[in-house]
Amino acid sequence: MIGINNIPVECDVLVVGGGIGGLMAAISAADQGAKVVIAEKSNTKRSGSGSTGNDHFQCYIPEVHGEDMEPILREMNECLTGGYLDQDLTALFLKESFDRVKDWNKWGIDMRPHGTWEFNGHAMPGRPRIFLKYAGANQKSVLTNEALKRGVTIFNKLPIAEVITNTSGEVIGAIGVSIESEKPELKIFRANNVILTTGTTNRLYSPKTGGMMFNLGFCPSCAGNGRAAAYRAGAKLINLDIPNTHAGPKFFNRCGKATWIGVLKDYEGKPIGPFVTKPSKELGDITADIWHGVFGIKNKAGEPVYMDCSETSEEDIQYMLWGLTQEGDTSLLNYMDDEGIDVRKHMVEFSTYEPFLIGRGIEINDKAATNVPGLFAAGDEVGNFRADIAGAATFGWIAGKSAAERAQDIKTFEPAEKSSIVEEKKQFYSELLSREAGTANPSWKEVNIALQQIMTDYAGVEVRSEHLFKAGLKYLKDLKGKAISTMYCQNSHELMRCLEVLDLIQLGELIMLTAQDRKETRGKHNRVDYPFTNPLNNNRFITVQEVEGTAEIKWRDRH
């Protein structure tokens, strides 16, 4: 039987995941006087997709952009993170984003590394630029220190598996599974306010590099735990139906596409997009931001696509290499050095990466609250707003403040450790640990690969249809049954992965169910049985919520 720590941890605000959103939520809640705990799967100093850095932060700075926010709002909707944003949240984000920039700058993340507020990259010629260039390589250690300074307790190596609610459906705590030692141990939290900030959802689709499911741009440990736990606790998820893909160097999957200052070209060296022929730090090639299908379409036409920086000035090359360092792409830079790949004379092939969830997930309001009392969410796992690192910083801050305010009104704790879900999960995790390892049963990895195959073929970005979704849902149900009844784990690390893969299957089902309801083609939701884009569905979002054990799907207008 899996061990359980008999002393529940009590706190006003429990933050699940110590990435950018989680650390900002914790700092903000602590500033309001709340007792705050972060439960982090790895270590807040290096966890999540902001692990080793970032160099661009969306924001609105009136002294740069002017007093009228409208043009910046429009740019937000039209840039690569736009498309599925509630406008009230977007306006709120823009209004508060500069305050977060100033906070970070004050704390020691250099937001003005070249002396001025400098906006470059992810920009179209003649349009306002909304991505602030900054030096974010130290961001995780700085934010961790700021949280600790305010008395936040950080439990590293403690993934949260479930949110606990009472019979009225209010949050009363959470179940964590410590992976600190080889033997897992359950840790129960009593908390009336839980903020979910578990990032993107990766490992849903087959990786571009065969068998290497951790070779990803975004952090592969981010496996949708927050979204799945939120759904099980009764929260609404939104916009899961529209797939999202990132792009960058082919096979060496990294973020930072817009940090490259070059032109996307074909094999012969002919530019493929209309935006730039001579790259500069202000305007790299935005083609891949705008034309999401560019790599696939060109590849199908027999054309590989290259990032060519050979015409970039030496000054801008230096700027780009500095940017890649701040972006956290030092592994890529080290590799290029070792291999003698020089961006001044070599062009590097780029391609699209596998689909993942970012800006598709938990529905929040302007307090970063979900529909479940006491449950909040921020960062990459929010489904009705997206601004990547800046979104995590800004809505993390809002979530922390809202949760701390709510904590002032509710001062007593319910005995979350006595909830039936705790015993139920204890039994289930013990069973996973007790199963025979080796060849007799499937490992989490086997289940994950099987899931990725089904997702790629039945809910992919090439072809989607009613029959594929129906068949895919049946196959996922079969897989889930087998995983629950036969999957094994031998230690805490493998137990964490087993729970991740079960969450991924659940999200896979919800993707198929919601996408099945969108009977039109939109973006990479390519319904071959409904090839048109229905204008009546413009700015209409699909939500899904568990109601009495079934997935209730609804449509709503963007607000």
Question: Residue numbers of the site for another protein (CB under 8 A)?
Answer: 41-43, 45-48, 51-52, 156-157, 179, 209-212, 214-216, 219-221, 249-254, 265, 267-269, 304, 306, 308-310, 328, 330-332, 334-336, 339, 341, 345-349, 493, 496
Closer of 142 and 410 to another protein (Cβ): 142
Minimum distance from residue 145 beta carbon to another protein (Å): 14
Helix (H) or strand (E) holding 295: helix 294-300
Helix (H) or strand (E) holding 231: helix 225-232
Q: For the beta carbon of residue 114, count every other beta carbon within 10 angstroms.
A: 13
Contact between 25 and 146 under an 8 Å Cβ cutoff? The reply is: no
Closer of 190 and 250 to another protein (Cβ): 250
Minimum distance from residue 148 beta carbon to another protein (Å): 15
d(CA 191, CA 39): 12
d(CA 476, CA 483): 10
Minimum distance from residue 217 beta carbon to another protein (Å): 9
| Straight-line distance from the first to the last Cα atom of the chain, in angstroms, rounded to the nearest whole number | 48
Minimum distance from residue 389 beta carbon to another protein (Å): 15
Minimum distance from residue 186 beta carbon to another protein (Å): 18
Closer of 328 and 508 to another protein (Cβ): 328
β-partners of residue 196 are 16, 377
Name the residue type at position 34.
A
d(CA 261, CA 225): 35
Closer of 254 and 525 to another protein (Cβ): 254
For 285, the token pair is 């090639």
Contact between 139 and 104 under an 8 Å Cβ cutoff? The reply is: yes
Minimum distance from residue 51 beta carbon to another protein (Å): 5
Contact between 227 and 543 under an 8 Å Cβ cutoff? The reply is: no
Helix (H) or strand (E) holding 188: strand 185-190
Closer of 58 and 253 to another protein (Cβ): 253
Closer of 330 and 537 to another protein (Cβ): 330
Minimum distance from residue 262 beta carbon to another protein (Å): 9
Helix (H) or strand (E) holding 52: none
d(CA 59, CA 219): 23
d(CA 161, CA 408): 26
Minimum distance from residue 385 beta carbon to another protein (Å): 24
| Closest by CA position to 84, among listed 543, 547, 553 | 543
Minimum distance from residue 41 beta carbon to another protein (Å): 8
Torsion region of 302: left, alpha or beta (phi above 0 gives left; psi -120 to 50 gives alpha): left
Closer of 42 and 239 to another protein (Cβ): 42
Contact between 39 and 13 under an 8 Å Cβ cutoff? The reply is: no
Contact between 230 and 377 under an 8 Å Cβ cutoff? The reply is: yes
Minimum distance from residue 42 beta carbon to another protein (Å): 5
Minimum distance from residue 46 beta carbon to another protein (Å): 4
Minimum distance from residue 136 beta carbon to another protein (Å): 13
Closer of 98 and 444 to another protein (Cβ): 444
Closer of 4 and 341 to another protein (Cβ): 341
Closer of 42 and 384 to another protein (Cβ): 42
Closer of 68 and 338 to another protein (Cβ): 338
d(CA 334, CA 327): 14
d(CA 131, CA 55): 9
Closer of 331 and 408 to another protein (Cβ): 331
Listed in sequence order, the residues at least 6 apart from 150 whose beta carbon sits closer than 8 Å to its beta carbon are 26, 27, 30, 31, 36
Closer of 45 and 426 to another protein (Cβ): 45
Residue 275, CA distances (Å) to 72, 198, 280 in order: 20, 35, 12
Q: For the beta carbon of residue 393, count every other beta carbon within 10 angstroms.
A: 32
d(CA 429, CA 165): 20
Closer of 87 and 153 to another protein (Cβ): 153
Q: How many residues in total does the chain contain?
A: 559
For 501, the token pair is 């893969």
d(CA 153, CA 316): 42
d(CA 45, CA 59): 24
Minimum distance from residue 460 beta carbon to another protein (Å): 21
Minimum distance from residue 159 beta carbon to another protein (Å): 10
